[in-house]
Structure 1
Amino acid sequence: MSFVQQKSSPNKPSRHRRGIERFFAIVALINFCLVLFDYSYIPWRDFYFHAVPAFTQRYDFFKGIEPHRETERYLAQVNALKQQVELTGLQSQETENLLQELQFLSNEMIEDNPFAEANKSGALAKIKNQIRARMHEESAHKAFDLFWSTQHLSPQNLQQEFNFFDTQLRPLIETNYYRDIGTNGKFVDKFWLIDLPFVVLFGCEFVVRTFAISRKYPDLNWLQSMLRRWFDLLLLLPFWRWLRIIPLTVRLYQSELVDLEPLREQINHDVVINFAEEITEIVGIRIIDQAQDALKRGDVANWVLNPESRRPYININNTNEVQAIAARLLDLSIHQVLPKMQPDIEALVQHMVINSLNQSPLYRQIQNVPGMRRLPEQLTEKLATDISHSAYSTMSHFLQDPVVMQLSNQLVENFIQALQVELQKQQNVQEIQSLVIDLLEEIKINYVKGIATEGVEKLWEESYQLRKIAQQ
């Protein structure tokens, strides 16, 4: 049962049930938003880190993320340098030691590339480009050595260089991280701790729904009842969580929180238009090919010419329905229809008789005799009435005469037998089969050409208009 059929059920859910449906739809929406956020966290962590740093530091726990020791030590050393400069100035031995340590850490960072573990080598490349451009050096090693030296730093540019580091280099360095790897060889991911309450809730709901379906449809076992809501199982999977978009869409549609009817109609339209033409061609060609194969094998000729080879026809009431229908229609035509049409028949016969008599010289001479002008018209009226009555009486008599019916049946049977005898001649059979096969081939070619020319768009529009009329 599709979710569209479930929604269009004539038994509309009660307000209480609709409220429950909407509650679970909203919960599914919240859960899917969390899933999307979790999928986006690693690729967009730099954005989250600068936009909501406090939240990012808490959420790092669920992804097994912790600050990288090497880059954290580098930033701590820069902070220590700032404090030392404020205490003792640039020319102190303590400051010189810190500058040498930063030179060593800079070269170590370039050589070891601590950004590679987080797949952030691009950040290191930006750092090297920034420092080379700042110091006008081709080598990043020399650029850092010069940058962290009293040869370059002075009381006049010290604050400016610290600002450059804080705005251009620090944001790239502090976004680096280390991510734990579990015993299975994959990165640690504790999103299941957030997802678990939702899975438990959806699992309980699925059990209740399955029980309700099994009670409503006693003929279904539990497995069949579960399959009625198979898409809800996607809410319980701890992997491929992006598939939850399917049950979410179903729930939003069924609870009428979102009107997806235009989207569903457009999808149906696109699917039908894309596949209907090919399917129609294949089905039509397949039917014609089967008919041609049957003709080539002689199945049709054998079926027509050898009645004894046909499979026995199952008769459920011991009545030949075709003969009974034909006899009933003939009886209605003669006893019910023809009497009502008798005036029209008489008028037609009279008109035909007058046209025939007008061609006779004797009839025109009689009309010229004084007092005899109306006599021909009266005679034709009487003649037309007599002819119609005579024909009707004859047909009624023949219909009730068993001898006439027997002779008519015998005539039909003899005609069929004579036709079968002539058709059984090999020359006639081959000629008719060849003509019919060629006719089917022409039909097949023109059928495909017609579909390719007209397409199925027109048929779809007609079907759509009929559905709209039926729904009114």
Structure 2
Amino acid sequence: MALLASFNYFLVLFDLTYLPLRDFWLHGEVQLFSFDIGPVSFPGLPLEVPLPPITQWYDPIKGIEPYRDTDQYLEKVNELEAEIDATNLRTKLRSLQSPEVAQILEYLRQRSVEMIETNPFQLADKTGDLEKIKNKMREHIATEEDSAKESFRQFWSLENLTAREPEDELQFFNDEIRPLMAANYYRPIGETGDFVDYFGLVDFPFFALFLAEFLARTWLISRHRTGVSWLDAMLWRWYDIFLLIPLWRWLRIIPVTIRLDQAKLVDMSAIQKQARQGFVAEIAGDMTQVVVIQIINELQSSIRQGEIANFLQQREVRPYIDLNETDEVAALTKIMVQMTVEQVLPAIRTDVEDLLRHNVDKILNQSQAYQGLEKVPGVETIRNQLTERLVHQITQALYNGLDAAIADDPVGDQILQRLISHLGEAYGSQIQTQKTLDEIQYLLNAFLEEVKVNYVERLSQEDLEDILDQTRAIRQKRQV
């Protein structure tokens, strides 16, 4: 089925490109030049291999017919060639001066003028070919008026054919003018208002086959998959629907590509990987901006509505719900103090003592009374001893105080909780002034707006590509 779908898509592409490439199929030839292969030599002129008569087969499918005017024109040229006897000069001149040749030349002159005036190439959208014909004839027969009509009148005149070699003139026409005129065609318009096109008849057998296969395959899927209806199975195989649509047939590349990949005839894993990464990057960027901006907007809305101020002032509309009967703030504070006493302070005790010693020495050096006693013998030694004892006692007192604070003491815990509560009340009472509250709200709103402008809205595809590169690097390390 994948190969049949591919062949059908090849026919679709051929049909879509047939009219633009019809001139190639009508006159196209493949040239094989002379070449040598080892001891075997193929000398000579380029060998022209004509293409199969594709236009004879496919023109009826597109409703293409020979255009009557240009076809009759070329038939008259053929009659003129038949009337001219090229055996010898005397016979040639006698043949050119015959009444039949004069009648044909008069006919060709009239039809040439009519062709330029009526433009029979317009229906086939080949007006450009008519311009090429006019330009080639003007170049071949130059006139004072630079008129294509006058050039055709002179070309199909007895004087021109007598002055020049008739076979050369006819050869010019057959090489330069005839292919352009032969490419013209007539295409009738049907009752729908569009050009007649019978490709639907060619495509119908494929449509019937794909429809039967689609119904059978989706029915089998619905029978073998639990909870999957026939309609769900059709949606599962959504891409096959493009094979059943008579419009936009070029979209059949989607089911053809998927089927070739499923049949393991074409490896699409690399393309799928890149497509997924591009899709993820695009969606991730949009979602990140939307989510973060929405959160910031909610915060700004809460600030403008006074919810943060109510929280700081301990005037919540809804009562605070305690889920575990534990004061988390007090517990966290106690954990931090315990960690500071047991682990942090012992590690930095020497640095603290050096800092205190430096400050005490600095204070004594700035004292005028000490500066007067500094000259007395023995005072320097006493000062050093006093400084060391003072620093040690301060450090030990601080450590003992914190150690006592973290000991199991219900009364101390109550005092700590009361301290935290009074701290919040003190902040709340200071914020109650309207001036302070307005300033805090303004600054918070301005800060959040700057965050949106400077960080959120500057997320780009390059940032997400870096993230995807990091993700791929992590996967490679895991595989190693």
- Common fold by TM > 0.5: yes
Q: Give 1:27's aligned residue.
A: 4
Kindly indicate which of the two structures has a greater share of residues assigned to helix: 1
1:171-182 matches, within 5 Å, as 171-182=179-190
**Cα distance in 1 for residues equivalent to 2:265 and 2:398:** 73
Counterpart check, 1:136 vs 2:142: yes
* Equivalent residue runs for 1:416-455 within 5 Å: 416-444=424-452, 446-447=454-455, 451=458
1:36 correspondence with 2:13: yes
Partner in structure 1 of residue 254 of structure 2? 246
Deviation string, structure 1 residues 320-340 (Cα, Å, up to 9, x no partner): 5874x9859978997xx8999
Q: Give the counterpart of 2:470 among 448, 461, 465.
A: 465
Residue 50, structure 1, aligned to residue 55, structure 2? no
Unaligned runs of 5+ in 1: 1-22, 369-380
Structure 1 127/245 Cα, relative in aligned 2: closer, same or farther at 3 Å? same
* SS of equivalent to 1:63: coil
Q: How far is 1:73 from its partner? A: 1.5
Give the C-alpha shift of residue 406 in structure 1: 4.7
1:157 offset after TM fit, Å?
A: 0.7
Q: Distance in 2 between matches of 1:349 and 1:156?
A: 118
Which residue of 171, 188, 191 corresponds with 1:183?
A: 191
Q: Give the direction of change, closer, same or farther, for the CA distance of 1:269–1:80 in structure 2 (3 Å limit).
A: same
Letter in 2 for 1:469: I
Q: What's the counterpart of residue 257 of structure 1? A: 266
> How many Å apart are 1:235 and its aligned residue?
2.2
Instruction: List runs of 5+ in structure 2 lacking aligned partners.
Output: 29-50, 362-377, 386-391
Distance of 1:146 and 1:33 partners within structure 2: 48
Do the aligned partners of residues 393 and 27 (structure 1) sit closer, same or farther apart at CA in structure 2, a change above 3 Å counting?
A: farther
AA aligned opposite 1:34? L
Is the contact between residue 121 and residue 127 of structure 2 (CA under 8 Å) also seen in structure 1?
yes
The answer (yes or no) to whether the contact 2:222–2:230 under 8 Å persists in 1 is yes
SS of the residue 1:183 aligns to: coil
Q: Residue 397 in 1 paired to residue 403 in 2?
A: no
CA contact (8 A) 1:63 1:191 kept: yes
**Aligned equivalent of 2:373:** none
Secondary structure at the counterpart of residue 105 of structure 1: helix
Q: Percentage identity across aligned positions? A: 36
Q: Secondary structure at the match of 2:53?
A: helix
CA distance in 2, matches of 1:386, 1:142: 121
Counterpart Cα distance in 1 of 2:307 and 2:120: 80
Q: Which has the higher mean CA deviation after the structures are superposed, 178-187 or 45-54?
A: 45-54
Question: What TM-score does the superposition give when structure 2 sets the normalisation length?
Answer: 0.70
Distance 1:234 1:85 in 2: 59
The counterpart of 2:131, out of the listed 111, 122, 125, is 125
Cα drift, residue 84 of structure 1: 2.4
Return the letter of the residue paired with 1:207.
L
Question: Following the alignment from structure 1 to structure 2, what is the Cα–Cα distance between the partners of residues 470 and 208?
Answer: 41
DSSP 3-state at the match of 2:186: strand
**Corresponding residue to 1:165 among 170, 173, 193:** 173
- Conserved 8 A contact 2:334-2:406: no
Amino acid at match of 1:33: F
Cα distance in structure 2, aligned partners of 1:467 and 1:241: 37
Deviation at 1:265, TM superposition (A): 2.7
Q: For residue 62 of structure 1, report the CA deviation from its aligned partner.
A: 1.0
Structure-2 change in CA distance of 1:100 and 1:248 (3 Å) = same
Contact kept in structure 2, 1:346 and 1:385, CA below 8 Å: no
1:49/1:350 Cα in 2 relative to 1: closer, same or farther (>3 Å)? closer
- AA paired with 1:447? Y
The answer to whether the Cα contact below 8 Å between 1:345 and 1:388 also exists between their aligned partners in 2 is no
After superposition, the C-alpha distances for 1:350-403 in whole angstroms (9 at most, x for unaligned) are 9969x98xx9x99x99xx9xxxxxxxxxxxx9xx999989986884533xx5x5
Root mean square deviation of aligned Cα = 4.8
Q: CA deviation at 1:50?
A: 0.8
Counterpart residue type for residue 200 of structure 2: W
Cα distance in 2, alignment partners of residues 443 and 387 from structure 1:
41
Would the alpha carbon gap of residues 464 and 207 (structure 1) be closer, same or farther in structure 2, given more than 3 Å must change?
farther
Q: Is the contact between residue 303 and residue 309 of structure 1 (CA under 8 Å) also seen in structure 2?
A: no
Matches for 1:88-99 after TM superposition, within 5 Å: 89-99=95-105
Question: What does residue 225 of structure 1 align with?
Answer: 233
Residue 39 of structure 1: CA displacement? Answer: 1.4
Asked whether the equivalents of residues 312 and 427 of structure 2 are also in contact (C-alpha less than 8 Å), the reply is no
User: In the TM superposition, what is the alpha-carbon distance from 1:346 to its structure 2 partner?
Assistant: 9.7
What are the residue-to-residue correspondences of 1:39-438 with 2, within 5 Å? 39-51=16-28, 52=51, 54-86=53-85, 89-137=95-143, 138-154=146-162, 157-215=165-223, 218-254=226-262, 255=264, 257-259=266-268, 261=270, 265=274, 268=277, 272=281, 276=285, 284=292, 287-305=295-313, 308-310=316-318, 319=324, 323=328, 345=346, 348=349, 395-398=406-409, 401=410, 404-438=412-446
Residues of 2 paired with 1:428 and 1:469: CA distance? 50
- Structure 1 length normalisation: TM-score? 0.71
Q: Rate the CA distance shift 1:217–1:430 in 2: closer, same or farther, 3 A.
A: farther
Paired residues, number = 426
Q: CA deviation at 1:404?
A: 4.8
Relative contact order, CA 8 A, sep 6+: which one is greater? 1
| Structure-1 separation of matches of 2:4 and 2:66 | 34
Partner Cα separation in structure 1 for residue 246 and residue 58 of structure 2: 19
